[in-house]
């Protein structure tokens, strides 16, 4: 096994990991503000992937471009979901929230199954098989585009939270729910807005993901679990943590696939999760609760 091969695999892992990171970022933002764990996250991602596949099939729309309308639609759906369905549950016990979102996830997965059938689908682009050669290292174009889009979205989200008034208000809600209410912030609206942002993140991640893998209705739960692993490793509620966690998991999956067995790759992710939970339960970049 040559060093070049390892380098290739690690680079691919980092690039895929950035897309994973964007997906997990949505989960992390929602938990960090609304304090609800979105157990339907992977299912939402799957729907975004189907949207990209359909737009690509019907209008020859590149997933990179499809990401924009899909993200806008997901923002609205996320907003409605939080305002209509989840908001009454934010004061309920965790197991109640869990069942609510499991029910949502079940409905989403099986509606996809009803409409599209169990077969896997994928998008076709003309750059999918292209790659750049840097010396001996080969980098897939699609992977680079996907990773750049993920990084761009993350940067935009970061700027939004840092500089915009709404973003600042959302951070205030996250820091002190009661204080936010007292100062007259419309917390319900801000929570729904946040959920919309999280949904938009997962929408863009889903569109990018179609450049890398195919999609079938039943992949949702494994993406949900992947999202959990990443945010816990990086730090639930931490934005840079989600990205770091994504890259770590992306690389560990790629290396486990290369050195051991592709079917064992997520075992290492879960092992990493268990180790992090035990020794740094707030995650690598998380703040202590």
Binding residues (CB under 8 A) for another protein: these are: 31, 37, 85, 88, 92, 94-96, 98-100, 102-107, 109-114, 117-118, 217, 221, 225, 228-229, 232, 236, 261, 263-264, 266-267, 270-271, 273-274, 277-279, 281
Min CB(78)–another protein separation in Å: 17
Q: Which is nearer to another protein, 56 or 97 (CB)?
A: 97
Min CB(277)–another protein separation in Å: 5
User: Among candidates 242, 212, 219, which has minimal Cα distance to 105?
Assistant: 219
Q: How is residue 125 written in tokens?
A: 């682009």
**Which of the 8 DSSP states describes residue 215?**
B
Q: How is residue 269 written in tokens?
A: 């992710």
Q: Which is nearer to another protein, 59 or 270 (CB)?
A: 270
Distance CA 265, CA 234 (A): 18
Q: Which is nearer to another protein, 124 or 263 (CB)?
A: 263
Min CB(59)–another protein separation in Å: 27
DSSP labels, 122-153: ----TTTT-EEEETTEEEEHHHHHHHHHHHHH
Min CB(203)–another protein separation in Å: 21
Q: How is residue 54 written in tokens?
A: 């359909």
Distance CA 31, CA 228 (A): 11
Residues near 157 by Cβ (< 8 Å), separated by ≥ 6? 25, 29, 197, 201, 239
Q: Which is nearer to another protein, 3 or 115 (CB)?
A: 115
Q: Which is nearer to another protein, 167 or 234 (CB)?
A: 234
Other Cβ atoms closer than 10 A to 267: 12
Min CB(83)–another protein separation in Å: 14
**Which of the 8 DSSP states describes residue 286?**
P
Q: Which is nearer to another protein, 26 or 217 (CB)?
A: 217
DSSP labels, 176-188: -HHHHHHTT--HH
Min CB(256)–another protein separation in Å: 11
Residues near 253 by Cβ (< 8 Å), separated by ≥ 6? 13, 16, 265, 266, 268, 269
Q: Which is nearer to another protein, 129 or 278 (CB)?
A: 278
Min CB(97)–another protein separation in Å: 9
């Amino acid at each position: 096994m040559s060093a070049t091969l390892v380098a290739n695999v690690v680079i691919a892992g980092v690039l895929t990991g950035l897309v994973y990171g964007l997906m997990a970022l949505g989960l992390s933002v929602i938990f960090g503000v609304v304090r609800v764990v979105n157990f339907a996250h992977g299912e939402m991602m799957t729907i975004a992937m189907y949207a990209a596949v359909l737009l690509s099939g019907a209008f020859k729309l590149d997933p990179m471009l499809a990401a924009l309308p899909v993200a806008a639609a997901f923002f609205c759906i996320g907003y409605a979901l939080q305002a209509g369905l989840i908001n009454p549950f934010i004061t309920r016990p965790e197991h109640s929230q869990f069942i609510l979102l499991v029910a949502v996830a079940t409905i989403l997965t099986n509606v996809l199954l009803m409409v599209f059938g169990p077969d896997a689908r994928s998008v076709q682009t003309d750059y999918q098989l292209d790659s750049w050669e840097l010396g001996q290292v080969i980098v897939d174009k699609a992977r680079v585009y996907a990773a750049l889009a993920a990084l761009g979205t993350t940067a935009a989200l970061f700027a939004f939270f840092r500089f915009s008034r709404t973003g600042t208000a959302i951070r205030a809600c996250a820091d002190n729910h009661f204080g936010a209410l007292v100062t007259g912030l419309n917390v319900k609206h801000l929570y729904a807005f946040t959920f919309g942002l999280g949904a938009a993140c997962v929408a863009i991640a889903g569109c990018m993901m179609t450049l890398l893998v195919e999609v079938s209705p039943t992949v949702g739960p494994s993406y949900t679990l992947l999202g959990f692993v990443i945010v816990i490793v990086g730090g639930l509620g931490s934005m840079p943590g989600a990205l770091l966690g994504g890259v770590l998991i992306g690389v560990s999956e790629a290396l486990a696939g290369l050195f051991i067995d592709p079917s064992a790759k997520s075992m290492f992710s879960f092992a990493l999760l268990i180790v992090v939970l035990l020794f740094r339960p707030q995650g690598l970049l998380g703040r202590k609760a």
